[in-house]
């Protein structure tokens, strides 16, 4: 499981995924279905996401309405940016 902040034209979202890479073709296709064709991604420590989102984390993980391979944990850019420092953002990925 990976957690990552995806920066796109509509702002950042915090996602959880089972894909091994943010450039995995299937991952990219999932983002495209959400209207995200170009993005910058940073991996963040999954434990840090669990810590910051508390009970919201397992609720999202158990939400049967979302697919198993990509879940949106947070779509409030202001909240995401307040929760994570730039020092916590690792492995910068550009996709275009």
Domains of the chain by residue range: 2-95
Sequence-separated (6 or more) residues with CB below 8 Å from residue 4: 14, 15, 17, 22, 41, 42, 43, 44
Is this model's pTM higher than 0.85 or not? yes
Edge-first strand listing for the sheet containing 11-17:
70-74, 11-17, 2-8, 39-44, 90-95
Q: pLDDT by residue for the chain (96 residues), tens digit each?
A: 899 999 999 899 999 998 989 999 999 999 999 899 999 999 999 999 999 999 999 888 887 456 668 899 999 999 999 999 888 888 889 999
**Burial class of 14 by CB neighbour count within 10 A (0 to 12, 13 to 18, 19+):** buried
């Amino acid at each position: 499981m990976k957690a990552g902040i995806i920066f796109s034209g509509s702002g950042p979202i915090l996602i959880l995924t089972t894909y091994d890479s943010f450039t995995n073709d299937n991952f990219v296709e999932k983002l495209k279905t959400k209207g995200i064709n170009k993005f910058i991604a940073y991996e963040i420590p999954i434990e840090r996401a669990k810590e910051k989102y508390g009970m919201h984390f397992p609720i999202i993980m158990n939400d049967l309405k979302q697919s198993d391979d990509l879940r949106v944990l947070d779509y409030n850019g202001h909240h995401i940016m307040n929760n994570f420092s730039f020092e916590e953002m690792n492995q910068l990925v550009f996709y275009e």
